[in-house]
Amino acid sequence: MPRRNSLKDDWKFDAELSNVREIPIDSIILPSKQPRRYFDPQKLQQLKESISTHGILEPLLVRPLGKVGQYELVAGERRYKAAKEASLTSVPVTVRELTDEEAVQLALVENLQREDLNPVEETEGILQLLSLRLKIDVADVPPILYRMRNEVVGNINQNVLISSEAQKIQAVFSELGSISWESFVTTRLTLLNLPSEILEALRSGRIAYTKAQAISRVKDEAQRKALLEEAITQNLSLAQIREQSKAARLPKEEPQSLKQRMQQMTHRFQKAKAWDDPKKQKRLEKLLMQMEAILIED
């Protein structure tokens, strides 16, 4: 009998015991809130070609809706989209009765365990899953994670954090198996503070996470957007981005006043060899006469 180690394993185990059926693809609708927003066009095209040749090898997971013959997709959106592109009229599915909360959790887990999920969607998906498990708003999850982190490093009283919350959070990350909760707090929560244009580029897969972090260090909005666009269109390396980012962050020198420039020029002329050159002496004498004339006007 197959082992079950996570929520995803539970529904796969049930799917193995149930009969897979074919249903019209038009009878399946997408849920209003999807954990995943971006699909790599190239990979979707490859899946479409595979489905056109071999069909769908792994059934979609759906749940019945109130209307007879209507189903909501729970897991397998990429296969669903590729099947649509391949003009399939029916698809293999496993039908399971699920509550709204169970359906969302399964969709999140199914997406989070896929390696090609981008960092933004992964972070947002994990926060959604944690909010469901803890039965709190998504916005209330990060403070709990930060408190857990502070507790571990000994920054606060050990009794501050409710242990049941910590246990539920640790259980979620154990199920996912892709990242620890400590690493999530350190490397992923900060990601959500990135400027909106960088977040969107990350979400759409146009730039790598490490490059996005380097670009975000540029505080000037216009410079940051210009560097982001150049990094994407020119496929700049991380080293190139860091170099440009560092240059953009350097303080700009204030333009010197005319008086300061005159003082510096006088100092340089005193050390220059122009005094020994007859031609340069004549030019300097002419300039000096012009300056004296300006002073007489005053």
What is the percent of the chain with per-residue pLDDT over 90, rounded to a whole number?
A: 27
Domain count, the chain: 3
Which is nearest to 38 in space by CA: 178, 279, 205, 176? Answer: 205
Residues 148 and 71 in one domain: no
Q: Domain range holding 152?
A: 118-192
Residues 36 and 66 in one domain: yes
Residues 133 and 154 in one domain: yes
Residues 181 and 210 in one domain: no
Comparing 235 with 284, which gets the higher pLDDT? 235
Q: Which tens digits make up the pLDDT trace of 106-116?
A: 887 777 766 56
Residues 17 and 72 in one domain: yes
For residue 9, the Cα-to-chain-centroid distance in whole angstroms is 27
Residues 74 and 12 in one domain: yes
Residue listed under structure tokens 């977040």: 199
pTM exceeds 0.75, yes or no: no
Contact between residue 80 and residue 47 where contact means Cβ atoms under 8 Å apart: no
- The predicted model gives 66-87 an average pLDDT of 89
Q: Residue 70: inside a domain, yes or no?
A: yes
**pLDDT of 33:** 66
Which of 192, 213, 234 corresponds to the end of one domain? 192
Q: Which tens digits make up the pLDDT trace of 5-48?
A: 444 444 444 444 456 889 999 999 988 766 566 677 888 888 89
Confidence of residue 140 (pLDDT cuts 50, 70, 90): very high
Confidence of residue 291 (pLDDT cuts 50, 70, 90): confident
**pLDDT of 115:** 56
Q: Residue 199: inside a domain, yes or no?
A: yes
Residues 155 and 198 in one domain: no
**pLDDT of 31:** 84
**pLDDT of 68:** 80
Residues 141 and 206 in one domain: no
Residue 148 neighbours by CB under 8 Å, 6+ apart: 161, 166, 169, 181, 185
- Does residue 245 register a pLDDT over 70? yes
Residues 173 and 207 in one domain: no
Which of 149, 166, 192 corresponds to the end of one domain? 192
Q: Residue 280: inside a domain, yes or no?
A: no
Residues 166 and 127 in one domain: yes
Which is nearest to 214 in space by CA: 198, 197, 203, 193? Answer: 198
Contact between residue 148 and residue 181 where contact means Cβ atoms under 8 Å apart: yes
Which is nearest to 141 in space by CA: 153, 123, 122? Answer: 123
**pLDDT of 157:** 53
Residues 204 and 231 in one domain: yes
